Structure 1
Amino acid sequence: MSGGHARVNIVVEGLTEETFVRDILSPFLGARRVFVTARRVETGRAAGKVYRGGLVSYEKACRDIRRWLIQDKDAYVTTMFDLYRLPADFPGVSNAPQSEEPYARVARLEQALALRIGSERFIPYLQLHEFEGLLFSDVEAIDAVLGVEHSQLRSLQVIRARFATPELIDDGENTAPSKRLITLFGGYNKPAFGSRIAARIGLPVLRRECPHFNQWISRLEVLAAP
């Protein structure tokens, strides 16, 4: 935030997002003098040990976000949480209109989160609808990694063709992006394959295909600009 550079601390949902930030976002943003650090959201403490990973409640995430804002007063804080299965106590979830358009919904929830956190250094981001949605930016990359023995490229192409953007692949119990991958590839494991597929796709394609994700990156990449 000074000296021609900026630092951003990212509270992420799990190990996959942590790896994604380290391996894909950090080099890109670092080249723009925006230096990022990611850590999984804190879920509890016991016997001197801190437990992290999994967005189990808003209150726990809120404490973690505010703690980092207090501990590091010279850095921004942002989030990378899935919209899919947000906790019931998350700001704005309980009064969401049933037929709300996904982009309108995520914008409203991010605004509600920003208002609740109440810091100019906080940049809210929710992934539509979950991390795996990003992977549908390039279904050939998915198949190249997961379909080595049994290609499912045609099925992946059919899914992708139904939606204007990968971010609109819905959040149904059996039709969320991750559930679709598990159905097609029984061995799909998010920590093992998620960031690997994303790296194969590359950040330029992810940004081109996913408008909401691109808005977030566009905001972060100029934080060190004069």
Structure 2
Amino acid sequence: MRDKLALYFILGSTNTDKNLETILQDAIDGGITLFQFREKGLGAKIGEEKHELAKLLQQICRNAKIPFIVNDDVELALELDADGIHVGQEDEDAQLVRKKIGSDKILGVSAHSVEDVCRAMEAGADYIGLGPIFPTTSKADAKEVQGVKVLKQIRKQGIDIPIVAIGGITEHNARDVILAGADGISVISAIASASDVKNATARLKGMVMHGVK
């Protein structure tokens, strides 16, 4: 699981005006290791339109052997036979989600504190999405910024669950996050808003790998 979290890309139609299939393919070519389809926010697609977009992006991931995760839509994840699902603290209870998806699919859970992490582990989470680490504009409902201190705090307590850090992560701070104890970084705008998606992705991947060393 840790290797899959190295460079975790999240994308939905509300994150960019560009073609999502092109962005995803360029991000895969640049080195992402996992993809999450997150279709939320003002103007997000719903119903059949959302389903069709998810299917298109899932096929691109399958062709590249990149795990495809659905954000907060258990029905869609099961319909598509997605590789997993990610839920936040305000979404459906993680323990119930685990029962619905079974033990063979990936379950990711957002966390903002040590207590959140412990509850997610009890619920059967495979990994934690921890943050926001730095200020972010990609999520209107983002919680208070945590900084890397919460990562260090979790690792100091001997909690060893795979963790991907999220929130305002760029190529300039990615290495700091890895050195603080994250197994990988999760980004939206650092890739989706880049003028050259493939190169931006490759630079991010390089910083993560550099941090691991």
* Pair member with larger Rg: 1
TM-score by length of 1: 0.31
Considering fraction of residues, name the structure with more helix.
Answer: 1
TM-score by length of 2: 0.33
